[in-house]
Every structure is written in C-alpha cells, then in structure tokens.
Amino acid sequence: MSATVLSLFLWVLISCVPNGNEHWQFAETIPLEGVGIIGLEYHPEKDLFWVSDGDNNRLIKVDNEGKTVEDIHQFSRPMHLSYRDEILYLAEYGADRIILIDGEEMVSIPLPRAPDAPSSIDVDGNRVAVADFYNHRIILWDEEGDYSFGVEGNEDGQFHYPTQVRFYNGKLFVADAYNHRIQVFDSNDRSHLQTIGSDDGMNATTGLYVDEDGIYATDFENSRVLIYTHDGKLVQILEENIDKPTAVIKHKNTLFIANYGEQSISRFQLR
Amino acid sequence: MKTIILIIASLTLALTLSAQNDHFTVRVDGLGCPFCAYGLEKKFKEVKEISDIEVNLEKGILTYRVPSSQQMEFAEVKKLVDDAGYTPISISVERGDGTVEKEDVNSKPNKDSNMEEKTIGVLGNCGMCKDRIEKAANGVRGIQRAEWSVADQTLKVVYDAEKTSIDAIHKAVAAAGHDTDKVKAPNKVYNNLHQCCKYDRVN
C-alpha cells in the first residue's frame, strides 16, 4: 500500500516539472538600451539576435551582449519576426505589409487579403499565416487558396486582437492577446482544437513560441511567461527579471524573452 | 478700393489660418501595450492632415497637430479613437488663434449608447489595492470608468458593452490578484501581493 502511495507521489512530482526534474532558471539579462523591443529571433550560427525595435521604427541585429551590430532597415512599427529556413519574415504593422528578408534581398509579400495592422507572420512550407490585428482574424493561405478565418469575439475560433501566430506540427497556434489566451487550430481545415491559458490570469497574451517540448506564452501586463505542455497543462511560470514581455523564443536549452518594459532580453536556462 | 482691401484682408486671413495649427491632447483608456499605442497612432496617421503624432503609453495620452484650416471637431476625434478600438476620456485643443477648448467625454453614460454601468464585488484592503484594482479594470478595452470602494468592497464600472463584457472585467481584476464575486485570483498572484494588500479570502 505504502509503495503504491509513494509511486503515485513520485509520479505526480515528476509530472509537475518539464522534462523530469528540469526547470527553467533565470541566467542573465542582456540590456538593450533605447530599444523598444517587440519581435525577437535568433541566428544560432552567428549567435546574433534580430530585434524589431517598434518604438524607433527599425530592424536591428544585436550581439549576445546587447550591442547593436547592424541597423538593417527602417520600417513603420515593425512587430513580430519569424525565422524559417534561413529566411526572416517581419510584420510591418504601420504599413500593412509583410516583409521577407533573404540575405540582401528584401521584398514585400503579396497578401490574399488586405490586413489592418499585421502583427505577426509565420510560414510552414507553402502555407503562410498572418495575425491581422485590427480585423480580429488570421489571414491563412497556400498555393491552393485563401483560408482566412476569424471574427471579433471571445468564443472558440473568434479573436480579440490576435498578436502572434506560430505553426507547429500541423497546427496553428494563435496568441489571442485581449482574450488573454492561446487558441490552437488544425492548420489544414482551420478547426478549433484547443484553448490554452484562459484560467491562468493572463492579461494581454502578446507573444508565443511552440516546439516539441511545449508552448511558451508572454503575459504582458503581469510581466510573466507561462509554459504549457501540449495538453494545455501549466507547468511553470517565469517572473524573475521579466518586464512587460512581448516575445519569447527558444534555442536548445535556452529561452530568450524580449522585455519591452525594461528594454532587454532575459535568458533562462533549463537546469 | 474697398473690394481690393477686402480681398487682401481675406487672403491674409486665409494665409494666416493655413499656417496655424491646432494642438490636440487626447486622454485614452485601455492603452495597455505597444500594440495598442501603435494602433492608435496608425488610425490617426491615416488622416493625412494630421502630423506630429505622439502616444505616451504610460500616461495614456495622444497628442498631435492638425492645420487650423481643417477645423477638426471633437466628434471627429472621438470617432477616430473609437474606430481604433479605444475609449476617449477627455479631449483638449489649443487652437491656432490661442483659444483652448476641453471636453470630458461621456462623463455620464449615454442611455442611447452601448454603455452599461455595473457593480461587482471585489476584495481588497487599502489604497494600494484601490490603485491596483482600478488600474486592472481600466486596462480593459471599452472601460470608461472604474471606481473601487474599500468600504463596500465593490467596483463600479461603466463600459462599452460592444467592446467588452463584465466577464472580461472580472477576469482582469482577478488577474491582478483580487478575488471578485465571480472569478478567483490565481494563488501565485495573490501570494505576491504586498503584505498590507493580503485581504481575507473567502473559500
């Protein structure tokens, strides 16, 4: 009997932390003085960050000490970034455009529908999704057609100012900012699969990241990052040295968090 | 001769007006994040005559200039703020000729509009709680006014029912650490409240 209770206790304990006993722990702050950071992506080979500096209307490259090494280009309120297959995508919120940056080449992608303040883009093969902030919808298309969906509201499949989209494993994850939650859809048929985080007290879910280990969401007003399993179970809340986060990205055992409030990037390690 | 003088006077007046600008200051509710601030700026930029737009996120204030010849009225400003998804609290303008006009917008709920007034139970202890509760409520889009009473343990809110719901207000206040009569605050947020704010919770 006691062995059964002990086994149950151990199982509960293990299931409460990501990857067994590993937890995310704060490691360092990378200062970004004068940078109104919104979007964040990481170039692992060069150990550099791309940062969209919304306040100063520019896209910059920053090293691991926070020094701006390249002022890439001026954009009108650049927002979330996505780095896929060595191509960087940028949502230009103030100009209603999506920009593709491939080396020196920089082009505006034609969209099947006109967005009003696009806040994020992500790409999965030939499929593209854009968070259309003011129209409370997701513009979704591929070479076969336009599958845009969503209206303003707080029911499943409705949005209240979506701010970021991410594809992962045939699913589309949406940071539904002012419904304070994440919605998950089948990226093929757009059916609503799951809603995550509704009861966790988030206030403005401004950014998210998804990989095989879980879902990471920025809780802007509460200065937190919430980490979920793919079942939607909350496994850890990060609060230390996080100030008005807008974006979160992961590389191997490192989590980088963009702090709009403190103008910095926080680095967390899985230990 | 009189005609020439009148023409010259009219031209001078027109030139003076065209060179003058009206400086607007708009206080806006619900400007929580840069997405909101940039959005508000975007909507005003779409009016080509408007220039020098600045949004102060912390104070929730938008300022801009517009040529006096446009004679921009408060109703137009209200509509622009409304179209951007926010609620104006007050508008003031210093006209090019030096006159100042000010209006507190919708200081009383308009019965013909979608404004609703409701009172909900919210637990708290002190002035810090009051600031936190009202800030959380005011951060919800569509909120026009929020006032918490420590004596009654109630929050009175006036909000645009087309833009938000009483449920969203319950959630926002609870997210800040204060139990409402409908939504309980997350334990972690409650535990992080200042010692004097740790009200007695009801199971």
Lowest mean pLDDT among A173-182, B52-61, B72-81, B137-146: B137-146
In a domain, B109, yes or no: no
In a domain, B149, yes or no: yes
Lowest mean pLDDT among A103-107, A196-200, A256-260, B169-173: B169-173
User: Does B142 share its domain with B189?
Assistant: yes
DSSP one-letter code for A152: B
User: Does B128 share its domain with B99?
Assistant: no
In a domain, A18, yes or no: no
CA distance B140 to B133: 12
Which range in B7-11, B138-142, B187-191 is most confidently predicted, on average pLDDT?
B187-191
Q: Could you tell me which residues come within 8 angstroms of residue A251 by beta carbon, excluding any fewer than 6 positions away?
A: A42, A44
CA distance B1 to A267: 79
User: Measured between CB atoms, does B33 come within 8 Å of chain A?
Assistant: yes
In a domain, A5, yes or no: no
Last residue of a domain, one of B104, B136, B167: B104
Query: What is the overall mean pLDDT for chain A?
Result: 92
Distance set, CA B131 to CA B147, B154, B168 (Å) = 9, 14, 18
In a domain, A36, yes or no: yes
**pLDDT higher at A238 or B119:** A238
pLDDT tens across B9-43, in order? 665 555 555 569 999 999 988 777 899 889 999 99
Range of the domain at A199: 23-270
Question: In Å, how far is A252's CA from the nearest CA of chain B?
Answer: 28
Provide the 10 A C-beta neighbour count for residue B82. Answer: 15
Smallest CA–CA distance from B190 into chain A, residue: A201
**pLDDT higher at B114 or B5:** B114
In a domain, B9, yes or no: no
User: Does B94 share its domain with B152?
Assistant: no
User: Measured between CB atoms, does B168 come within 8 Å of chain A?
Assistant: yes
Question: In Å, how far is B167's CA from the nearest CA of chain A?
Answer: 11
Smallest CA–CA distance from A36 into chain B, residue: B34
Whether the model clears a pTM of 0.80, i.e. scores above it, the answer is no
User: Does B26 share its domain with B66?
Assistant: yes
Last residue of a domain, one of B104, B125, B159: B104
**Is A161 in Cβ contact with B35 (below 8 Å)?**
yes
Of the partner residues A133, A163, A201, the one whose CB lies closest to the CB of residue B174: A201
**Is A79 in Cβ contact with B35 (below 8 Å)?**
yes
In a domain, A1, yes or no: no
Tokens encoding A57: 């209307």
User: Does B94 share its domain with B168?
Assistant: no
Tokens encoding A119: 């806040």
Of the partner residues A93, A178, A203, the one whose CB lies closest to the CB of residue B38: A93
Question: In Å, how far is A84's CA from the nearest CA of chain B?
Answer: 24
Of the partner residues A133, A200, A260, the one whose CB lies closest to the CB of residue B186: A200
Question: In Å, how far is B84's CA from the nearest CA of chain A?
Answer: 8
Q: The domain that contains A180 carries what CATH number? A: 2.120.10.30
CA distance A188 to A92: 26
Whether A17 and A236 have beta carbons less than 8 Å apart is answered as: yes
> What's the pLDDT at A11?
46
In a domain, A3, yes or no: no
User: Measured between CB atoms, does A164 come within 8 Å of chain B?
Assistant: no
> What's the pLDDT at B51?
93
> What's the pLDDT at B161?
84
Size of interface A-B (CB pairs under 8 A): 70
In a domain, B97, yes or no: yes
Of the partner residues B33, B85, B186, the one whose CB lies closest to the CB of residue A201: B186
Whether B153 and B122 have beta carbons less than 8 Å apart is answered as: yes
Question: In Å, how far is B103's CA from the nearest CA of chain A?
Answer: 27
pLDDT greater than 50 at residue A8: no
User: Measured between CB atoms, does A158 come within 8 Å of chain B?
Assistant: no
Query: How many CA atoms lie within 13 Å of A221's alpha carbon, on the beta-carbon side?
Result: 30
Helix (H, G, I), strand (E, B) or coil at B40: helix
User: Does B94 share its domain with B119?
Assistant: no
User: Does B128 share its domain with B74?
Assistant: no
User: Measured between CB atoms, does A117 come within 8 Å of chain B?
Assistant: yes
Average pLDDT over residues A168-180: 96
Lowest mean pLDDT among B40-54, B101-115, B151-165: B101-115
Q: Could you tell me which residues come within 8 angstroms of residue B166 by beta carbon, excluding any fewer than 6 positions away?
A: B116, B118, B120, B157, B159
pLDDT greater than 90 at residue A248: yes
Which range in B55-59, B105-109, B117-121 is most confidently predicted, on average pLDDT?
B117-121
Average pLDDT over residues A248-261: 97
Tokens encoding A145: 């057609």
Interface predicted TM-score of the whole assembly (ipTM), two decimals: 0.85
Please name the residues between 120 and 149 in chain A that touch chain B, using a CB distance below 8 Å.
133-134
pLDDT greater than 70 at residue A4: no
CA distance A184 to A165: 10
User: Does B95 share its domain with B58?
Assistant: yes
CA distance A246 to A190: 26
Please name the residues between 70 and 99 in chain A that touch chain B, using a CB distance below 8 Å.
77, 79, 93-94
Residues of B in contact with A180 (CB under 8 A): 171, 175
pLDDT greater than 50 at residue A16: no
Last residue of a domain, one of B104, B127, B154: B104
> What's the pLDDT at A122?
98
Q: How far is CA A222 from the centre of its chain?
A: 17
Range of the domain at B159: 115-197
Q: What is the dihedral of CA B120, B123, B128, B134, to 10 degrees?
A: -20
Question: In Å, how far is B148's CA from the nearest CA of chain A?
Answer: 20
> What's the pLDDT at B83?
81
Q: Which pLDDT band, with edges at 50, 70 and 90, does B147 fall under?
A: confident
Residues of A in contact with B174 (CB under 8 A): 201
User: Does B124 share its domain with B92?
Assistant: no
In a domain, A10, yes or no: no
Lowest mean pLDDT among A76-80, A134-138, B186-190: B186-190
Q: The domain that contains B71 carries what CATH number? A: 3.30.70.100
User: Measured between CB atoms, does A111 come within 8 Å of chain B?
Assistant: no
Question: In Å, how far is B116's CA from the nearest CA of chain A?
Answer: 18
Number of domains making up chain A = 1
In a domain, A193, yes or no: yes
Average pLDDT over residues A119-139: 97
Number of domains making up chain B = 2
In a domain, B14, yes or no: no
Q: How far is CA A51 from the centre of its chain?
A: 13
Best of B33, B187, B190 to substitute, by most chain A Cβ atoms within 10 angstroms, is B33
